[in-house]
Amino acid sequence: MSTTYSKNDLASWERRYRANLLNKISGFKSAHLIGTQNEEGQTNLAIFNSVMHIGANPFYLGFILRPHSVERHTYENIKASGFYTLNAITSAIHQQAHQTSAKYERSQSEFAEVGLTEEFLTNFPAPFVKESPIKMGLSFVEEHPIKVNDTLLVIGQVEQLILPNEIIDSDGDIDLAQLDIVSILGLDSYYKTKRIGKYPYARP
C-alpha cells in the first residue's frame, strides 16, 4: 500500500525520522574516504557518500559538502593545499570508514583514531588509504555554492589513479563487487552488491 506525502508532510516529520528516511530514499550511493592534510602535515580522513561522475575525458569527479559539518576540515585542507584523495571503501574496512564521521579534534588524525594506514605515493601531496584497492589523487578545479541550502559542490580532476589492473577486462569493464567495494545507503547503512546484468548500448 503506497502513501503520498506532500512537502508539507515532510516538513512536519520529526527531525531524525525525516533525516533517516530522506537520506535513504534517493537510493544507493558510492562510499569514499577523502584524505587531506593541512599546511603542517596534519592528516585528515572523512567518509563521503556523494561522489559523482562529472566526466571521463578529462576525468572529473564531484562531491557535496554539507554546511557547518565535521567535513569542514576536509574542505579547508582542500582549499589550502589544492589536493585530496578519494579511496574506495571495501567491506573489510567499512566499520573503520564509518567511524571517521565522529567529531575528532583537528589535532587528531582519523587515520590513527580509526586504525587505517596513511600512505604517501608518487609524490602526491595528500594521504591515500593503504587498505583501499582503488585510490585516486585529485586536484581541486571548481566549486559551486548551492543557493537553496548552503551546501557546496566541489569538483576535482583525477591526477593519479591507482588500481589493481588484473580485474579490468579488455574493454575497460570492471566489476567492483569482485573487489568487495561497498555501497552506502543514507549515512549509516552499508551494502554488498552482486551484478544481475550488463547490457549493450541501447538502440531503438
Binding of residue 57 to a copy of itself (CB under 8 A): yes
* Binds a copy of itself by CB under 8 A, chosen from 95, 112, 115, 117: 95
**153 binding a copy of itself? (CB under 8 A):** yes
Contact between 20 and a copy of itself per CB under 8 A: yes
Distance CA 124, CA 149 (A): 33
Find the part of the chain contacting a copy of itself (CB under 8 A) among 36-44, 77-85, 174-182: 174-182
Q: Which is nearer to a copy of itself, 39 or 171 (CB)?
A: 171
The yes or no reply on residue 5 touching a copy of itself (CB under 8 A) is: yes
The yes or no reply on residue 159 touching a copy of itself (CB under 8 A) is yes
| Residues 97-126 within binding reach of a copy of itself (CB under 8 A) | 98-105, 108, 113, 121-122
Q: Which helix (H) or strand (E) holds 97?
A: helix 94-99
Q: For residue 197, state whether it binds a copy of itself (rule: CB under 8 A).
A: yes
60 counts as binding a copy of itself under rule CB under 8 A: yes
**Quick check: 36 binds a copy of itself (CB under 8 A)?**
no
Q: How far apart are the first and last CA of the chain?
A: 34
Q: How far is CA 164 from CA 5, 89, 175, in A?
A: 46, 14, 12
Contact between 203 and a copy of itself by CB under 8 A: the answer reads: yes
* Residue 148 grid coordinates: 537553496
User: Prior bond to 164 cis, omega within 30?
Assistant: no
Calculate the dihedral angle through the C-alpha atoms of 108, 110, 111, 113, rounding to the nearest 10 degrees: 70
The dihedrals phi and psi of 167, each to the nearest 5 degrees, come to: -100, 5
- Residues within window 65-94 making contact with a copy of itself, judged by CB under 8 A: 86, 88, 91, 94
Q: Under the criterion CB under 8 A, does residue 41 sit at the interface with a copy of itself? A: no
CA separation for the pair 184, 24 (Å, rounded): 9
Which is nearer to a copy of itself, 39 or 199 (by Cβ)? Answer: 199
Angle at the Cα of 52 from the Cα atoms of 136 and 122, rounded to 5 degrees = 10
Question: Least CB distance from residue 77 to a copy of itself, whole Å?
Answer: 19
Question: Residue 172 CB, nearest distance to a copy of itself (Å)?
Answer: 3
Could you tell me how many residues of this chain bind a copy of itself (CB under 8 A)? 113
Cα radius of gyration (the chain)? 18
